[in-house]
Chain A
């Protein structure tokens, strides 16, 4: 299994509070991705990174920001959480940008 962890695994927070999710990899893969998964919508890309300090938006990036200050860590921040951001968030890594992806275990976020 690819060495990829996510923290926290579960979080409940209130509307309007900032939230940061962490993805950590031990594989030294160049590419890292944040997805959200909701019933009826499948996996949707939020942001991705193609190197340290190199990031780009996905299809549902509004309300989210990311940072990657070192190869192994990719942070996803919800600046001011809203109920519509209640979801399961997955991080994925890939050696090649369009290649196979390896997913973390997910973070279940509930915004009340």
Chain B
């Protein structure tokens, strides 16, 4: 089973600060996805990174896929209260039709 570990587990910062959260594995993934989940709702897909070394930007969010395709990071610039939520990374399991989800980072942005 391929595992995805996310760090930190919890992060609370002031509005306007920058932050980075990580998604790491000992296994190679063909791609990685990032989701954000707000309280009382289902996870929502933010981005998929496919190529090793790939960087994708979504407004103030920057996603990077490691060169070896074993890890990914999410960097948020000038965090805002609307960024509050649970951030999940996920990757497809080789040979089957399922995703492995990471353990999640619960982010709180304090106004």
Contacts and interface: CB of A to CB of B under 8 A. Distances in A.
Identify whether the interface residues of A are mostly helix, strand, loop, or mixed.
strand
A98 B43 contact: no
Interface string B15-44: 000000000000000100100000011111
Contacts of A92: 42
B51 to A, nearest CB: 16
Given A42-B104, A98-B93, A100-B33, A105 B99 contact: no
B97 A106 contact: no
Contacts of A104: 42
Given A98-B93, A98-B97, A103 B44 contact: yes
A51 to B, nearest CB: 10
A43 B101 contact: yes
B96 to A, nearest CB: 8
A33 B100 CA distance: 13
A101 interface: yes
A64 B72 CA distance: 34
B78 interface: no
A102 B46 CA distance: 11
Given A100-B48, A104-B42, A42 B97 contact: no
B98 interface: yes
Nearest to A33: B98
Contacts of B103: 42
Interface of A: 31, 33, 42-43, 45, 48, 50, 58, 90, 92, 97-106
Interface of B: 30, 33, 40-45, 48, 88, 90, 92-93, 96-99, 101-104
17 contacts: A42-B88, A42-B101, A42-B102, A43-B88, A43-B101, A97-B96, A97-B97, A97-B98, A98-B30, A98-B96, A98-B99, A101-B45, A103-B42, A103-B44, A105-B41, A106-B40, A106-B41
